[in-house]
Amino acid sequence: MEAHTVHQFFLQLMIILLTTRLLGELVTRLQSPAVVGERLAGVILGPSLLAWLESSQVVKLLAESGSILQSF
């Protein structure tokens, strides 16, 4: 990986983690499970709505892994 690619990956990871944490806390205060906010963050950041984050292979792999782990 190039230095730019590594920097971009960690920036994307930070945005994803921060957004999921904030929305998870928000929906918890609204008496809903945190997973609702986490999924909402995925919809907001993902390609279906705003598509703010460019999908790299590593981010796609992490997204699939996270979806599988969250199912159990």
Measured over all CA atoms, what is the biggest interatomic distance in the chain, rounded to whole angstroms? 43
Alpha-carbon dihedral of residues 14, 53, 58, 56, nearest 10 degrees?
Answer: -150
Q: Please give the share of the chain, as a percent, with pLDDT higher than 90.
A: 29
**Domain map (residue ranges) of the chain:** 20-71
Question: Measured at the alpha carbon of residue 32, what is the angle toward residues 31 and 33, in degrees to the nearest 5?
Answer: 130
> Is-contact 20 37, C-beta < 8 A?
yes
For the stretch 52-63, pLDDT in tens is 666 678 777 877
State the average pLDDT over residues 41-70.
Answer: 77
State the average pLDDT over residues 16-31.
Answer: 95
Q: Residue 26: its pLDDT value, please?
A: 97
Give the pTM. 0.71
pLDDT at residue 64 tops 80 = yes
